Amino acid sequence: MVGRFLEHSRIFAFERNGETKVYIGSADLMPRNLDTRVELVTPVDDPSLRDDLLDTLERSLADDTNSWDLGPDSVWTRRKQQGHEPRSVQRELMLGHQARAAEGTTAT
Q: Is the pLDDT of residue 7 over 70?
A: no
pLDDT higher than threshold 60 for residue 101: yes
Q: Residue 88: is it exposed, middle or buried by C-beta count within 10 angstroms (0-12/13-18/19+)?
A: buried
pLDDT confidence of residue 107? 55
Tell me the per-residue pLDDT of 8-44, one tens digit each, with 9 for 90 and over.
Answer: 668 899 999 999 999 998 877 777 777 888 878 899 9
Cα separation, 70 vs 59, in Å, equals 18
Query: pTM higher than 0.75 for the full model?
Result: no
CATH code of the domain covering residue 74: 3.30.870.10
Is residue 24 included in any domain, yes or no?
A: yes
Spatial distance between the Cα atoms of 75 and 1, rounded to a whole number of angstroms: 15
Domain that holds residue 85: 11-105
The total of structural domains in the chain comes to 1
